[in-house]
Amino acid sequence: MLPCLCVLAACAPASTPEDWLGPVTAVDNPALPGSRYPRVATGPGGEVVMSWLAPAGEAAHELQYSRWQDGAFDLPAVVAKGDDWFVNWADFPAVVPGPDGLLAAHWLRKLPGHVYAYEVRISVSGDRGRNWSAAVTPHDDGTATEHGFVSLLPHDGGMLAAWLDGRHTSGDHDHGTAESGAMTLRTLQYARDGSAAGPGVELDARVCDCCQTGAATTADGPVVVYRDRGSDEVRDISIVRWTPGGWSAPVRVHADGWHMPACPVNGPAVDARDRQVVVAWFTAPDRPRVRLAFSRDGGASFGPALEVASGTPIGRVDVVLLPDGRAAIAWLDRDAAGGARVLVQPWTPEGPAGPAQVVAAASGARSTGFPQLAVAGNRLLFAWTGDGEPSSVLTAVAQLR
């Protein structure tokens, strides 16, 4: 796919005054063939780290990562390795940078004897990855149920973890019935040495079963976004905020009214700067849609939902705030030939700030994973899974204008 991407970039039309992004150009990365499911994370100082799952022998995997420095990825490093990991196209590991050389990582480990039971494992490094703490599990319920869809966020000198917790379910992957109980959203703060800095806290007692969570830091503190789940099976996007009195009650970002009796596996994305917050998400109350909403008060309230795309979106969104206050949103969309493509577009609270541009062609299959987006200086950095045989981690950059 890399040569194909280069050809697409070379054939791009000459720039015009309305262009907001330069040609998308493939860039090498150190992920070996067979790697998949990249995750891109940006630290408080702008440091960009990409992590991915790499093959490590028969049925074994490694969580690897690389820093983006001076326009290129550095040599990869390994956090952990295992042959008992839960590997899933939608629920995948991450390495997240924090201040002063802090890194935190998470991955998922299967529980023996159960098809859908797995636990979260977290490790922390305070010295830029030279040493990692012993892996720990943030949930202490001891149930053979699902725990995953983790968001890690630098907070209070350490790392905050938020995850979907199935302790009240039956563990049979059929959550939310009267017999099984509901999936919950929980959080736990970790200190710099990898120890828990307090007890875990339940943020929401009933959430969508397998949609990604997202987290960001505002001037007021952390926010966590996720797909909620009403008793009437309406599954809209909600937000909880850290306040001086503790975590807020959940508030809907927008009332889509999407009645959905099953999990769409299509969670929201969030970014923040000072008190500006932007949330992007997929919904389908009548037809597939990608939407975006801005907050000017740290996520306490949001402006109207902006319609980014409708009719053909697959979703799997990511969003970042650009240095000038615009938001860039990336998503998967069907093309006219029945395939798919990764698109990116800038938005402001008033509407689109430039045309959508094609990043790359993609199959749209589960194996494509969730395309990733990050601001890297004056460029946008993209990452996604090439779903050929073997799979590959694909990366590209484009100049912001």
Angle at the Cα of 98 from the Cα atoms of 140 and 159, rounded to 5 degrees: 15
83-100 pLDDT, tens digit each: 999 999 999 999 999 999
The closest of 200, 215, 115, 122 to 165, measured between CA atoms, is 200
CB 305 within 8 A of CB 254: yes
Checking if the pLDDT of 319 tops 60, the result is yes
What order of strands is seen across the sheet that includes strand 25-26? 25-26, 392-399, 379-386, 372-376
In this prediction, residue 399 carries a pLDDT of 97
What pTM, to 2 d.p., does this model score?
0.94
341-368 pLDDT, tens digit each: 999 999 999 999 999 999 999 988 999 9
Report the distance separating Cα 242 and Cα 96, nearest Å: 20
Q: Give the mean pLDDT of the chain.
A: 93
The closest of 376, 398, 364, 389 to 89, measured between CA atoms, is 364
Checking if the pLDDT of 255 tops 50, the result is yes
